[in-house]
Amino acid sequence: MARLFEEHLTRACACLDGAWRMQADPCDVGESEQWNLGLPNGAFTSVPSVFNLREGMLDYEGAVFYEKNFFSGGGCLQLTFDGVLTKAKVWLDGDLLGTHTGGFTGFSFIVPNAAKGWHRLTVCADNRFDAHSIPQKKVDWYHWGGIIRSVRVEMLRGIAILSERMEYTLDDALTSAAVRVVMRLYNASGAETSDAVRVALDGEEAASVSLTLKPHETREVTTQPFSVQSPRLWSPESPALYTLSLSTATDDLADRVGFRLVEVKNGQVLLNHRPVEFRGVNRHEEHPDFGFAFPQTLMARDLELIRNLGCNAVRGSHYPNRKDFLDLLDESGLMFWSEIPIWGCGFSREALADPLIVAGGLEMHREMLEQYYNHPCILFWGMHNEIPSDCAAAVEMSRSYYRYLKERGGNRLVVYASNQPEKDLCLQDCDCVCLNIYLGWYEGNPSDWDGYTDRILERLRALGVADKPILYSEFGAAALFGCHDEDTVLWSEEYQAKLLAHCLRVFHSHPAVVGAFVWQFADIRTCLAAGINRARGFNNKGILNEYRKPKLAYHAVRQCYLEFARAESEPNGKGEMKP
C-alpha cells in the first residue's frame, strides 16, 4: 500500500501488486487437489481488486485462489497483506504460512530462512459467512471478496522493527508532552544479536533502547519517557504532524504522529480545550467499478468533495478504512471515527452471547488499535453499530470492549451507534450518546424531529447519563439520482434535501447535541442475497450517487455546514463554551 510518506529507507521492500493469476473454487476442491502447488486453470487478474467484478461472478460467494511468482534474494522475509476479504489462507511454495479472518485490517507472516530464487505465493480468499462471522451474513453493503489492498514482501535483517506506537500525555496547559514509544522487535538473524533502537522525532534523537534478542525472538520494548516541550498541536484548523523515526543498524520504520487532547466535559466534546461541533458524513470506502479495492486517486477526489461540503469529520462506516486515506485526513485536519464491522441488524441476541463472536470482535479491535494508533485524526473508536442493545449479552460485550479500548486506545473517545435509545441498556459504557435515527424515512414525519432530542434527554436523565454529549451518527432519506418532484415526495432529491436540512438545523440549535454525521456520502451497492431489499440494489441515501455526482442534498448539507462554521466565530455561536 502506498502511504503518503516513505515508511522505510533501509529495509528492502518489493510491492507485489499488479498481475496475478486467479481461479474460483465453487466446489471447494482447491485444497484437496493441491492448488497451493499451482493453479490448474489460472486466469489473469490484477491485485488489488474484488473478484466479484469478473464476468459471471457478481453474486459469487466462496473461495477464490490467487497465485503470484516473485524473485527473492533469500533470507528472512516478511509477507504483508493490507486486506483480504474475508477469510485468507496463505501458502509459500506450497507450505502453509497461516490464516487470517477479517478483511479490513492487515496481517503478515515471517519466513525465517527463504532460499534465493523464485517463489510461488498462493492465497485463498473466501467471502462466505458463517454463524461466527463478523460481520454476519446480513449487512447493508455488498459481499465483495478478494485481495482488496496491497501485498508486499520485505527483507528483514538483524533486529527488525515490526511495529510501534507513540503514547503521550499532555499537561493541563497543553505546553508539554510526556512521551514514550512502544515497539515490537524481531531478531531476523539465526544468531543472538545485540543492537540499539534509536528513536527520533522530526529528525532529533529523543530516546534509545539497547537490547539482545535470541535467534528469531520477538519482544515488545518501551523507551524511557521523554519530554516534548511546546508541542505543535494537531487540530482541524492547524493539523500539525511530526515524523517519528525508529532505526537499528539494519532496519528502520517511520510513521507520522500528532499531539492533541480530546475529552468530554460539561456535555461537550473538547479538542485542545475548545468545544467541537462535528459536521460529519458517513463514508463507505466502496465504488461500483472497484468494490472495496478503492483506488488512491478516487480517495483524493472523495476528500475534495468532503472538504467542499464543509465537513470537519468523517465516520468510516462500518470498518477500518485504508491507512493512506487516514494519512490524507491527518494532513487535512478532518476528524475520524474508526470502527469494526459489527453491523447490528445482522446480529441476533444469541450471536452477541457467542464467545467466539465476542472474542473475534476483540481481536478486530486489537488489530485496529495496533495498526491505526498513531493517526491523530482518529478521535473516536467505534465498538459496534445498531446491535440489539437491550439485552444482557450486549451489555457484557459493550462493557468489555469499552474497557479494552479505554485502557489501550490512547486519547480517544469510545462510542457505539444505537438505533433504540428508548430501551438501550449499554449507555453507561460510552463517552458520547450516538444515535442512528431515521424519522421522516423509516418512520414518522420530518416534523417529529422537533422535540425528539428532549425526549431522549429525559431517558438519559433517568439513567444518570444526561451529562454525555449527543451525536446523531446516522439520519437521512434515500433519493434516486435524477428523480425530481415539486411536491417533494419520497425518493425525490427534493425530499432528501429538505429533510436533511431540517435535521441539521434542529440538531445545531440544541445545546445537548455536539454534531451529526449525515447518512451517507455516496450511494453504495448492497446485497440482495442477505435480505436487504433496496431500489436498484443500492443503498440510495447518498448525497452523491455512486459515481460521485451530487444530488440536491449535497448542496443543502453544504449550505448548512458552511453556515454553522461561520457561526462558530460569532458571539454566542455554537463554538462558545457553555456556562
**pLDDT tens per residue across span 423-472:** 999 999 999 999 999 999 999 999 999 999 999 999 999 999 999 999 99
| Alpha-carbon span 4 to 255, nearest angstrom | 10
Which value, to the nearest 10 degrees, does the dihedral of the CA atoms of residues 395, 401, 402, 408 take?
Answer: 170
Question: Looking at 26-40, 64-78, 323-337, 476-490, which range is the least confident one?
Answer: 476-490
- pLDDT value at position 345? 81
Which contiguous run of DSSP H or E holds residue 312? none
Query: What does residue 562 show for φ and ψ, rounded to 5 degrees?
Result: -70, -35
Q: What is the pTM assigned to this prediction?
A: 0.95
- The widest CA-to-CA distance across the chain, in whole angstroms, is 77
- Give the pLDDT score at 389: 96
* pLDDT category of residue 534 using cuts at 50, 70 and 90: confident
Which distant-in-sequence residues (6+ apart) come within 8 Å of 567 by Cβ? 573, 574, 575
Please give the C-alpha separations between residue 469 and each of 1, 87, 427, in angstroms, as whole numbers.
37, 38, 12
Q: What is the mean pLDDT of residues 210-226?
A: 98
Task: Give the residue among 115, 114, 141 at the shortest CA–CA distance from 129.
Answer: 141
Round to whole Å and give the CA distance between 437 and 476: 8
Residue 227 sits at the vertex; the CA angle it makes with 223 and 229, to the nearest 5 degrees, is 155
- Cβ proximity of 426 and 395 under 8 Å: yes
Q: Which three cell numbers stand for residue 557?
A: 448539507
The per-residue pLDDT for 578 is 38
Instruction: Specify the 3-state DSSP secondary structure of 497.
Output: helix
**Please, which residues bridge with residue 59 across strands?**
none
- Rounded CA gap, 436 and 92, in Å? 45
Tens digits of residue pLDDT in 537-552? 999 999 999 999 999 9
**Complete DSSP assignment for 526-538:** --GGGT---GGGE
Asked if the model's pLDDT at residue 361 lies above 90, the reply is yes
What is the model's pLDDT at position 571? 58
**Dist CA 326 CA 333 (whole Å):** 10
Which of these, 385, 395, 460, lies nearest to 421 by C-alpha position? 460
| Phi, psi values for residue 343, rounded to 5° | -100, 110
Q: Using the predicted structure, report yes or no on whether residue 510 has a pLDDT greater than 60.
A: yes
Residue at grid coordinates 457484557: 396
Average pLDDT value for residue range 321-341: 98
| Cell numbers at 264, concatenated | 468530554
Determine the straight-line distance between the first and last CA of the chain, rounded to whole angstroms: 47
Is residue 180 a contact partner of residue 209, using CB atoms and an 8 Å limit?
no
Instruction: Give 410-425 pLDDT, tens digit per residue.
Output: 999 999 999 999 999 9
Task: Please determine, for residue 298, whether its predicted confidence score (pLDDT) is greater than 60.
Answer: yes
Q: Which pLDDT does position 218 carry in this prediction?
A: 98
579 pLDDT above the threshold of 60: no
DSSP conformation letters of 113-125: EEPSEEEEEEEEE
pLDDT tens for 91-147 read 999 999 999 999 999 999 999 999 999 999 999 999 999 999 999 988 899 999 999
For residue 570, the model assigns a pLDDT of 75
Is pLDDT at 577 greater than 60 in this prediction? no
What is the pLDDT at residue 444? 94
* Chain length of the chain: 579
**What integer is the mean pLDDT of 355-361?**
97
Q: Which amino acid is at 500?
A: L
* Nearest in space to 368 (alpha carbons), one of 344, 394, 338, 389: 338
* 3's grid cell: 502511504
Instruction: Outline where DSSP puts E strands in 322-436.
Output: 335-339, 378-385, 413-418, 433-436
Over residues 52-87, the pLDDT tens digits come to 999 999 999 999 999 999 999 999 999 999 999 999
Q: Would strands 413-418 and 433-436 be described as parallel, antiparallel, or unpaired? A: parallel
Q: How far is the C-alpha of 78 from the C-alpha of 383, rounded, in Å?
A: 30
pLDDT above 50 (res 516)? yes
CA dihedral 531, 535, 540, 544 (to 10 degrees): 140
Mean pLDDT along residues 231-240: 98
Say how far apart CA 559 and CA 543 lie, in whole Å: 13
Summarize the confidence of residues 165-193 as an average pLDDT: 98
* pLDDT value at residue 344: 86
> In this model, does residue 265 exceed pLDDT 70?
yes
Predicted pLDDT at 529: 60
d(CA 30, CA 576): 63
Statement: residue 574 has pLDDT above 80:
no
Task: Using pLDDT thresholds of 50, 70 and 90, give the confidence band for residue 572.
Answer: low
